[in-house]
Structure 1
Amino acid sequence: MSTLEGAGEFEIIGVEEIRAHISSAVTTCDVVMALLAAGDWAIGIGIVPRAENPLSDVAATPKAAAKLEAAKESAKKSASAALRPTAKSGTVKVRIAGTKRDDPRAFNISAAFTLMGQVLSKRTQEGREATSLVRSGLNQNEAAEELGISKQAMSQRLQAAGWQAETAGWQLAVNLIEEAGRP
């Protein structure tokens, strides 16, 4: 996952805890979807509004570097706080730095991932294979050929796997994260 554009190196924090600084809403959603598909993770997302986040600063100055470290620390604290007091696997909790615990934007992001998690949990092995190929960039014809099935069978697998709901939910989550990151 650390090879995804915008994802920093994943740190191993404990036996069952990893952490990464991710600078893009798209990459955040990709990582969360992979962890939800695995099913064994409770996920905390800390969002730092851009006014506090110097990632857009072009000049690499000591001041910008210090601001970046402060933003990363704020995101870490927000992500950890989102998972407290209890965190269950398959859940995504969100905190936006500098806001109240019950910020509706954070709730909406969590809700979008909850809905997508439900879609993922109902997916068959055939559905996981089909969606994985399409997500990797193949079109339906190419994916069907890869699996040795007809285009119609591929379409049916994607429909049964909830592919349309997943892609709509994924885009919704990206949009909500981007909105939460605006000052």
Structure 2
Amino acid sequence: MLAVHARYRGREPRRALLVTRSAEALSTLDGVGEFRVLGVEDICAVVDSPEALCDTVMALLSDGSWAVGVGVVPGTTDEELTRGTATSSLRGGVRAGTVKVASLPKGKSTLADDIAAVFALMGHVLSKRTLEGREATSLVRSGLNQNEAAEELDISKQAMSQRLQAAGWQAETAGWRLAVNLLTRAEAGRYD
């Protein structure tokens, strides 16, 4: 079972409202359960699949104001245990843009470290993205091909291609696939 716990680390003065709205928005993602609001700056949810987990973490990383904890508990249906595992990964002061992964059983941290490393690389790509790059990647991620996305933005196909290149679209796609593969292994309890 997989879970995500996020802690808001931004500077919004009305942080409780922002955290509540973020929880509501993230709960609408495919494969994501309802995000619980835990206090003023924490939210937590169980997710259905590695793909849904990656989409959720990417959404949080693209904002740049969230510390993210991921819980991976293979072979269980205990939602509280899984949420608790995600929460435990945020102990010890985690800064915004950071993803920590907690996985059971203990002593199998190499795979958790690899997952965190992939998210760190993807977070770096996302942090360098311009508004135009965010628009372009959002359209392609939603299922449009480059021609359709270019039409939507009223730009040439070449300009769309350049925006995607500058935005690190290929790196994001490769990183997303790698994260999904690693999470699939972790969820199945395959640590080798």
The alpha-carbon deviation at position 164 of structure 1 amounts to: 0.0
2:35 and 2:90 mapped to 1: Cα distance?
A: 18
Alignment partner, residue 99 of structure 1: 106
2:27 and 2:105 mapped to 1: Cα distance?
A: 27
Out of 81-90 and 137-146, give the one that drifted further: 81-90
Alignment partner, residue 37 of structure 2: 12
2:110 and 2:49 mapped to 1: Cα distance?
A: 21
Higher helix share: 1
Alignment partner, residue 88 of structure 1: 95
The alpha-carbon deviation at position 82 of structure 1 amounts to: 1.0
Match of 2:130 among 124, 131, 143: 124
Match of 1:171 among 168, 171, 177: 177
- The alignment covers a number of residue pairs equal to 164
The alpha-carbon deviation at position 3 of structure 1 amounts to: 2.3
Larger radius of gyration: 1
* Letter paired with 1:26: E
Deviations, residues 109-151 of structure 1 (Å, cap 9, x unaligned): 0000000000001011110010000001110000000001000
1:130 and 1:104 mapped to 2: Cα distance?
A: 34
- SS at 2:66's partner residue? coil
Over aligned residues, Cα RMSD in angstroms?
A: 1.1
Alignment partner, residue 74 of structure 1: 81
Judge conservation of contact 1:75–1:97 (CA < 8 Å) in 2.
no
With structure 2 as the length reference, what TM-score do the two structures score? 0.83
With structure 1 as the length reference, what TM-score do the two structures score? 0.87
The alpha-carbon deviation at position 23 of structure 1 amounts to: 1.8
* Letter paired with 2:121: L
1:9 and 1:77 mapped to 2: Cα distance?
A: 16
Q: Residue 137 in 1 paired to residue 162 in 2?
A: no
Higher strand share: 2
Alignment partner, residue 68 of structure 2: 43
Which sections of structure 2, spanning at least 5 residues, go unmatched? 1-25
